[in-house]
Structure 1
Amino acid sequence: MTGAPRAQLWAERHQIVLYLVAIAVGLIVGALIPAAHELEVAISPAIGVLLYVTFLGVPFTRLADAFRDARFLTTLLLLNFVIVPVIVLALSRLVAGEAALLVGVLLVLLTPCIDYVIVFTGIAGGAHDKLIAAAPLLMIAQLLLLPVYLTVLAGPGVLEGMEIAPFLEAFVFLIVIPLLLAALTQWVAPRVRWVAAVELGAVGVMVPLMMITLFVVVASQAGLVLANLPGLATVIPIYVVFLIVMAFVGAGTSRIARLDVKSARAVTFSGATRNSLVVLPLALALPAELALVPAVVVAQTLVELIGMTIYVRVIPRLIPARRG
């Protein structure tokens, strides 16, 4: 009995180091084992299970309150769909002369994340319940606005061959189904006296689940990035700068909107994290002349995952609990 809590406390105390280890091992496996890319089929299930466990820790009575927080939702939408596109426009000019790089950067940076951002926000003490409630709005908004932004910034031809199916599938399998299963578990648990077991189990497996998810994502995608590394030399700095800029822009926007600390952290994480795993199928469906686009998208995933392990330490300091 004492061993499990002790191991759990140790894992939570060292979780950032453990996440970096998982990413490093994923990179090594992805670089050395050609078949590692086949782990891609495990990405959605891994994220789905991770989100299910995350949702178990959110009382569903709070979701209605979160959805009614008009100030939070307005700030979230403003940041992701007005401010971020302006920043992306500026950064994308660095690759404006190369179609594949431009399309890849626009495709991934214009779409806010709806899945593992919830987990990282929770680790950093942010209002992850509000991001759960906002997920449908973020999904609908990016479905409607992405074609407009791509047409304006890259030209109408880029939309040929693109479908909305990956967005809808991601929303159903990564948000709706895990959310419904978590709600069902919360409803059943008190009736069969599972409450303590469910709560303890959810907390206890969070760190291992995150490590597994990070490993699967990185190992399955590392080969694609490494194989195209020379062509990605320009976009990787763009992604790094984006993360740095968005930390301050998110915090500043939240301060102007007078959000509470947890909401401010949630907004900042949302502005920085992108929907790379969802837009990857869109990138794979592009014409042959844009064959480098999937690698451009995947490169953002790897940069972002490393960046998020830093964010969970930096953002609580940038937006401290004592802020008034």
Structure 2
Amino acid sequence: MSRLTLERQQVWIYLAAIVCGLALGSVAPNVAPRFETLLWPVLAALLYTTFVQVPLLHVRDAFRDRRFVLATLLGNFVLIPLVVWLILQWLPVDPALRLGVLLVLLVPCTDWFITFTQLGRGNTARAIAVTPLNLLLQLLLLPLYLWLMLPAADFSAALKTEEMLPAALALIGLPLVAAALTERWFEAKTERAVWRERLGWWPVPLLAVVVFLIAGAQVGTVLDAGPVLLTVLPVFVGFLLVAALLALGLTQWLRLPLEVGRTLAFSLGTRNSFVVLPFALALPAGWETTVVVIVFQSLVELFGMVFYLRWLPHRLFKSPPVAV
């Protein structure tokens, strides 16, 4: 099996992992504490292997195509937050649900965004170049977005817990620093580049383990969250459609090439669910629905990307026929 084949089949791998986790958690509920303990190191490993694929030391490369960078920044950090704020007005007044939606929709993806760009006939070089910029900006701006969009009481209750922020920031910060040091080690000698490729195999199986552990540890919450998930399903589907149309509008306004427009659509449509998972997992008791909403969005998104692969290159960003 090639790495590309593995990434193409990842949606089915994650679904199988969730089903297995729910089944095991149902028949053996005593595994929940062990799964919760295992989840943190596995998630740290997932973040590290994913960050290693991001050219963290080459943020300046993103600015070579200024129109694409402008479109990406406007789309991901101005227009998408406005869309999410509008979505929030139509959601039930459930703080855990709203926080899950905010966390998962406000941050652009840094991993399978590149894979789907490649599969969907986008510009992979542009995707790779802009990824570290997206990662750094989302980590800086997410607290501001949450402060602006959450009621003060919910913000204080969920995100200012003394035990929560240090744990979540450490879980993201340590893999990020380790990945930057690893990238520097890779670039010291060209023959070390093979290790980047080897580490690139790990995000899919590690994410499968993460969702398996979450399903097994939170089986009760998952089963009770059925009505909640039905509420957010049309929200997540609608978000994918709106993101693609925003990308089309920005592409036409800035006169971007079609393949760059497809790249922009994949950037706006994919979200960074596993990067915000540490924040959700570190929330106080009573906020477990936030985790379920984030994992559910990632599954909806993966099916949405299968649709994107047909819709974007063949319909929305279709190349004109070549004149004979």
Cα shift at 1:234: 0.9
Distance in 1 (alpha carbons) for counterparts of 2:142 and 2:199: 36
Q: Does 1:188 align with 2:184?
A: no
Aligned to 2:28: none
Cα pair 2:117 2:262 within 8 Å, conserved: yes
Contact 2:85 2:149 in 1 (8 A): yes
Q: Structure 1 129/32 Cα, relative in aligned 2: closer, same or farther at 3 Å? A: same
Aligned residues: 301
Deviation at 1:170, TM superposition (A): 3.2
Secondary structure of 2:89's match?
helix
Q: Using a 3 Å threshold, how does the CA distance of structure 1 residues 74 and 97 change in structure 2: closer, same or farther?
A: same
For normalisation by structure 1, the TM-score amounts to 0.74
* Structure 1 residue 215 corresponds to structure 2 residue 215: no
Aligned to 2:256: 259
Alignment partners' CA distance in 1, 2:24 and 2:185? 40
Partner of 1:91: 87
Pairing 1:31–2:28 present: no
Contact 2:168 2:282 in 1 (8 A): no
2:75 matched to 1:75? no
User: Does the residue aligned with 1:117 lie in a helix, a strand or coil?
Assistant: helix
1:21 equivalent in structure 2? 12
1:3 alignment counterpart: none
| Aligned residue identity for 2:190 | A
- Cα distance, 1:244–1:178 mapped onto 2, change above 3 Å: same
| 1:296-311 aligned within 5 A | 296-311=293-308
- Quote the Cα distance in structure 2 between the aligned partners of 1:167 and 1:261: 38
Identity across the alignment (%): 33
| CA RMSD, 1 decimal | 3.7
Give 5+ residue unaligned stretches, structure 2. 26-30
Indicate the residue corresponding to 1:107 in structure 2.
103
Question: Which position in structure 2 is the counterpart of 1:4?
Answer: none
Change beyond 3 A, Cα 1:66–1:154: closer
1:117 match: 113
1:26/1:215 contact within 8 Å kept: yes
Deviations 1:134-172 (A, max 9, x none): 344334433443333323322223332343874675366
The amino acid that maps onto 2:290 is V
Which residues of 2 match residues 195-206 of structure 1 at below 5 A? Answer: 198=194, 202=197
